[in-house]
Structure 1
Amino acid sequence: MDLNLRNKVVLITGGSKGIGKAIAKGFLEEGAKVAVMARDTSVLKEVEQELKGVVGFSADLTNAAERQQAFNQFLSEFGTIDILINNVGGSNGSTTTETDLTLFEEAMQLNYFSAVHFSKLALPVMKKHQSGSIVNISSIFGRESGGKPTYNSAKAAMISFTKSLADEVIKEGIRVNGVAPGSILHPTGNWQRRLEENPEKIQQFIANEIPAGRFGTVEEVANTVLFLASDKASWVVGATLNVDGGQSKSNF
């Protein structure tokens, strides 16, 4: 299926590895012009070499000033933005009682405030053209308990933000949606490390928790993101779609 993404200008935060890198690859294959942002300059250079045509921008995405500067650099080079993928994220801490408040604040800056900030930076450009698409990468644990409380809280906020912003800007031709992945296996992820450390325990986890009987792949998440970003999803507004092989316990 041709998603009509050729020559669309796409910015992906946290696009140097894992899900973000797969999304970048997917957009490139559709003929889009792709930029990725991440902190590690060496990893960004590797991505630029591997995915020919991708342009990397280095920034600490927990820092508002660096986000602003990186976006300005991106806009100066590309001139516009058609699609924003707020993908950067990560977890920290342990239980709520044992996690310092500063770690909650860091998790919100990385997972949530970065999405809000980049959306606010992209929206004036999209409003000028009366078109655009924003896709926020959340998690099934934004809807139910599981994982670390810092991460869950930030991803829950992102799901709520996705719906509120979608309703606000759809009248100006801008669609906002989200994707909530379940457990995804890739070389740089936590599940790969856990699988190597204790394969029997992880296989039992899969049997107990994932009805599809396996981990998801980054490509399966990327395919959903590309669909939501395209005009093929023109009537999908404010939704956050689970991509989890049935893992989520939520029925809404």
Structure 2
Amino acid sequence: MNLGLTGKRVFVTGGTKGIGKAIANAFAAEGAKVAVCARVTEGIEGLLAGIQTISGDVTKAAERERMFAEASAAIGPIDILVNNAGGSNGGAISETAMDVFYEAFELNYFSAVHFSKLALPAMKSAGRGTIINISSIFGRESGGKATYNSAKAALISFTKALADETAKQGIRVNSIAPGSILHPTGNWQKRLDADPEGITEFVNRDIPAGRFGTPEEVADVVVFLGSDKASWVTGATLVVDGGQSKSNI
């Protein structure tokens, strides 16, 4: 299927490993011009040739502004923004300091809000654009750490609010809610290495498909949402989890 993404300008945050790298490569394979940002961009393996890499800390507002400006200068005004940067921290609510909650929101929520606001002027001027936020099934239901879940739930709510606000301006905003995705640099790989029997039991018990998902399976859905094949999809959160989530809404 020709998704019509040749020449589209795509910026992916957290795009040098795991899901973000798979997303960047998937867009590049479709002929898009791609830039990614991450804290560390040296020694990166597996990114397709031509993808621009920009280093910086997405939890800092000034860094977000600099990285977005560099991405726009490198590949042109952004047509498709993928807010993928994220991570989990903390533990039990009663034992987690407030600073840890603030950090979780800067990484998982405020970075996406800020990058979206930075992308909107050019998208409004062009009369079209796409923003895709990578959330989690645990932004839709309980499970995991409260810091992460709360930030991802806020991201899903933000997605719908911005989608409704910008639909008449030709801008689509959606989110993806992945389930448990296995890749070499992720937490699930570390847990699998530490407790293979326990994690195998978890997969058999909690994931109906009977296996972990792959970054490429998430990326395929993101690329579809970035294309005009998804022209009537906005304000949605698409679950990509092999049946793992418990919610039936």
- TM-score class, shorter: over 0.9
Distance across 1 between alignment mates of 2:47 and 2:197: 34
Match of 1:81 in 2: 78
The structural deviation recorded for 1:152 is 0.2
Aligned residue for 2:93, secondary structure, equals coil
Match of 1:28 in 2: 28
Distance across 2 between alignment mates of 1:26 and 1:78: 17
Distance across 1 between alignment mates of 2:186 and 2:228: 31
Q: 1:50 to 1:71 in 2, by over 3 A?
A: closer
* 8 Å contact from structure 2 (residues 21, 47) kept in 1: no
**Identical pairs, percent:** 65
What CA deviation, in whole Å up to 9, does each residue of 1:153-177 have, x standing for no partner? 0000000000000000010000000
Distance across 2 between alignment mates of 1:30 and 1:58: 24
Distance across 2 between alignment mates of 1:50 and 1:79: 20
Distance across 1 between alignment mates of 2:73 and 2:161: 29
Correspondences of 1:182-201 after superposition (within 5 Å): 182-201=179-198
What CA deviation, in whole Å up to 9, does each residue of 1:59-88 have, x standing for no partner? 110000110111111222222110000000
Q: TM-score if structure 2 supplies the norm length?
A: 0.98
Aligned residue for 2:57, secondary structure, equals coil
Higher mean displacement: 93-102 or 75-84: 75-84
The structural deviation recorded for 1:207 is 1.0
Alignment size in residue pairs? 249
The runs of at least 4 aligned residues of structure 1 exceeding 6 Å deviation read: none
Distance across 2 between alignment mates of 1:159 and 1:50: 28
Match of 2:151 in 1: 154
**Counterpart amino acid of 1:116?**
V
Q: TM-score if structure 1 supplies the norm length?
A: 0.97
What CA deviation, in whole Å up to 9, does each residue of 1:220-245 have, x standing for no partner? 00000000111000111100100000
Correspondences of 1:76-225 after superposition (within 5 Å): 76-225=73-222
Match of 1:15 in 2: 15
Residue 54 in structure 1 maps to residue 51 in structure 2: yes
Gaps of 5+ in 1: none
The structural deviation recorded for 1:197 is 1.1
Distance across 1 between alignment mates of 2:60 and 2:92: 25
Gaps of 5+ in 2: none
Q: Alignment RMSD, CA only?
A: 0.9
Match of 1:227 in 2: 224
**Counterpart amino acid of 1:213?**
G
